[in-house]
């Protein structure tokens, strides 16, 4: 999450159930964020335990898939509205409908032709489709975005969370605080995408294998996709030729930075170690600059930053970002700041942004600053000459300690496979002169998987023909049922009283062969029977 955080303290292995505030203490963002993480973990774990890995409420199950044929390259999928849970995360496919505007003043004059009146805008579709899903940003011009031209293929749901700040959603900023004040809180957003997967990727035989086989094959594929395949460790080591001035940093400090920082190491280009790259930021990648206008390599910004620490300088490396770029999980080359125009709030970049990025103002483009420098000793191993970056990012080298800055070093484990967007957070503290990182009893840093991005998957439909779309979703019925007229004890007592009046034998228990009042010789309707009938009625209504 690219936010201005002090650190993240949520650790599921500690089994904390709540954060308890104490009087007279300083309140930190980490405490409130940990409470939120605890509550989300509890709610989603409970939902998963009750529902299973995925499922939707019967009668309102979302993401029903229908194939809408067109030209072979422009087939479409209709995504039915409703709700669906994936690993306890609620996904809502209901398409919002616009509100009703105030009618034009005065209406039509008598005799005025209806054709002279402004045309009413066309009503939006009631459901999403593959091409216009809210966080999909599929492009028909990109062959890789089109639906497969050959059957069969599986349609699945991909779900994850990402952070949204005021740079991407200006409505989050409280304008009453003034433009000079920073934004307040960020938002975590659930992102879902409906995507196709060729049947060959599942290793199944035939065009229409049994549904259980499809689900099992998809589960194996999803587990492999979601499993972290890279690990990193961090430490702080006192650099060579360090300034020993105790007025700046303690002489024995391993972390030599003058301020507390939250370092973020993020995979930029994915792949194996030979192809993968990473970026790093001392502020968790939170230093951003909203873009007002793009003109070639010149970018007009809403602000150049509040101070020297949060501003742009010539030589800085930036990532040109917008909502579609983030949602697609792409990795475009980083750009270098070549020139600053302070009065005009403009910067000139080393190249134009990638095609399709930053050209649409409604997608809220912005620049994200990263803190590595080309040709800097921060990007190479200690004692070696400075190397060049790859597409503006640092090449991943496994099995060696790579220095970032001020004594902070990272280590990538051998044999990793890296995914764009995966990240690790490293708090660095001046009070201890070190970074906070788990270690063993011998104080050796431990290798850790990335903190995110945690991606979740669920199968939706198996498409093996123009009219054949078998449904792979699961549904659950509500737990609530109708309340019976009386409980077991009352029914037993009433049956016994009736038996005494008629001279017959009292039943051993209600529902075990006695008679119901007013129905001589009929069976007693126990509470369990009544509840079962109510549940059956709910099932019948749901399927209808």
Averages of pLDDT over each 10 residues, the chain, 544 residues: 89 94 94 95 97 96 90 81 97 92 69 58 86 94 90 96 92 87 91 96 88 96 93 89 59 78 96 94 94 94 82 94 93 94 93 91 94 64 57 95 94 95 95 93 95 96 87 94 79 86 60 42 46 54 47
pLDDT at 284: 94
State the Cα–Cα distance between residues 62 and 54, nearest whole angstrom.
12
Token readout for 426 is 């490293």
pLDDT at 525: 47
523 and 513 Cβ atoms separated by less than 8 Å: yes
Backbone angles phi, psi at 266, to 5 degrees: -130, 135
Q: What are the strands of the beta sheet with 434-435, ordered from one edge?
A: 394-395, 277-281, 261-267, 423-429, 434-435
430 and 257 Cβ atoms separated by less than 8 Å: yes
428 and 257 Cβ atoms separated by less than 8 Å: yes
Q: At what angle do helices 527-543 and 488-502 cross, to 10 degrees?
A: 120
Token readout for 449 is 């998987």
pLDDT at 103: 84
Residue closest to 407 by CA, chosen among 384, 380, 378: 378
Token readout for 293 is 């206008």
Q: What are the strands of the beta sheet with 187-198, ordered from one edge?
A: 187-198, 153-164, 456-463
State the Cα–Cα distance between residues 218 and 154, nearest whole angstrom.
9
505 and 459 Cβ atoms separated by less than 8 Å: no
Q: What are the strands of the beta sheet with 401-405, ordered from one edge?
A: 232-236, 408-412, 401-405
Q: Of all helices (H) and strands (E), which one includes residue 244?
A: none
Its pTM stands at: 0.84
Token readout for 416 is 């990793």
Q: What's the CA angle centered on 426, arms 422 and 432, to 5 degrees?
A: 175
Q: Where are the beta strands (DSSP E) in 215-351?
A: 232-236, 261-267, 277-281, 288-295, 298-301, 317-321, 335-341, 346-349
Q: Where are the beta strands (DSSP E) in 464-522?
A: 475-476
Provide the 3-class DSSP secondary structure of residue 503: coil
Residue 215 class from Cβ within 10 Å (0-12 exposed, 13-18 middle, 19+ buried)? middle
How many CB atoms are closer than 10 A to CB 213? 13
State the Cα–Cα distance between residues 406 and 399, nearest whole angstrom.
21
State the Cα–Cα distance between residues 467 and 533, nearest whole angstrom.
37
Backbone angles phi, psi at 179, to 5 degrees: -70, -25
pLDDT at 14: 93
Provide the 3-class DSSP secondary structure of residue 401: strand
Provide the 3-class DSSP secondary structure of residue 518: coil
């Amino acid at each position: 999450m690219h936010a201005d955080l002090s650190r993240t303290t949520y650790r599921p292995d500690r089994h904390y159930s709540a954060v308890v505030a104490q009087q007279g203490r300083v309140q930190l963002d980490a405490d409130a964020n940990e409470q939120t993480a605890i509550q989300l973990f509890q709610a989603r774990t409970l939902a998963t335990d009750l529902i299973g890995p995925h499922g939707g409420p019967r009668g309102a199950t979302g993401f029903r898939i229908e194939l809408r044929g067109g030209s072979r390259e422009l087939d479409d999928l209709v995504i039915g509205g409703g709700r669906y849970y994936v690993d306890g995360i609620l996904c809502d496919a209901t398409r919002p409908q616009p509100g009703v505007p105030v009618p034009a003043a005065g209406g039509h004059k008598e005799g005025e032709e209806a054709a002279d009146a402004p045309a009413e805008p066309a009503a939006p579709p009631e459901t999403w489709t593959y091409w216009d899903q809210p966080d999909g940003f599929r492009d028909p011009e990109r062959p890789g975005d089109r639906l497969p031209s050959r059957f069969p293929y599986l349609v699945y749901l991909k779900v994850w969370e990402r952070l949204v700040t005021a740079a991407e959603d200006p409505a989050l900023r409280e304008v009453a605080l003034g433009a000079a004040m920073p934004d307040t809180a960020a938002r975590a957003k659930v992102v879902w995408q409906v995507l196709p997967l060729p049947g060959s990727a599942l290793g199944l035989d035939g065009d229409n294998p049994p549904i259980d086989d499809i689900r099992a094959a998809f589960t194996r594929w999803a587990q492999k996709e979601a499993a972290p395949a890279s690990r990193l460790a961090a430490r702080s080591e006192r650099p060579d030729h360090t300034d020993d001035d105790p007025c700046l940093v303690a002489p024995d400090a391993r972390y030599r930075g003058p301020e507390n920082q939250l370092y973020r190491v993020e995979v930029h280009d994915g792949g194996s170690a030979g192809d993968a790259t990473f970026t790093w930021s001392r502020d968790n990648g939170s230093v951003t600059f909203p873009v007002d206008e793009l003109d070639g390599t010149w970018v007009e910004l809403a602000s150049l930053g509040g101070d020297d620490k949060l501003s742009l300088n010539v030589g800085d490396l930036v990532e040109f970002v917008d909502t579609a770029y983030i949602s697609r999980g792409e990795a475009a080359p980083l750009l270098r700041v070549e020139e600053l125009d302070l009065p005009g709030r403009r910067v000139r970049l080393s190249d134009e942004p990638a095609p399709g990025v930053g050209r649409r103002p409604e997608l809220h483009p912005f620049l994200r600053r990263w803190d590595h420098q080309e040709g800097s000793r921060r990007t190479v191993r200690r004692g070696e000459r400075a190397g060049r970056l790859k597409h503006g990012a640092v090449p991943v080298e496994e099995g060696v300690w790579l220095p970032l800055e001020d004594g902070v070093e990272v280590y990538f484990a051998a044999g990793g496979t890296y995914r764009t967007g995966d990240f690790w957070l490293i708090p660095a503290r001046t009070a201890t002169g070190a970074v906070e990182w788990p270690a063993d009893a011998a104080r050796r840093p431990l290798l850790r998987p990335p903190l995110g991005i945690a991606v979740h998957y669920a199968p939706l439909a198996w498409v093996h023909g123009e009219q054949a779309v078998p449904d792979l979703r699961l549904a659950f019925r509500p737990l609530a049922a109708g309340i019976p007229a009386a409980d077991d004890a009352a029914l037993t007592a009433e049956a016994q009283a009736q038996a005494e009046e008629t001279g017959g034998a009292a039943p051993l228990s209600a529902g075990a062969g006695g008679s119901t009042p007013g129905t001589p010789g009929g069976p007693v309707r126990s509470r369990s029977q009544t509840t079962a009938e109510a549940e059956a009625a709910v099932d019948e209504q749901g399927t209808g």
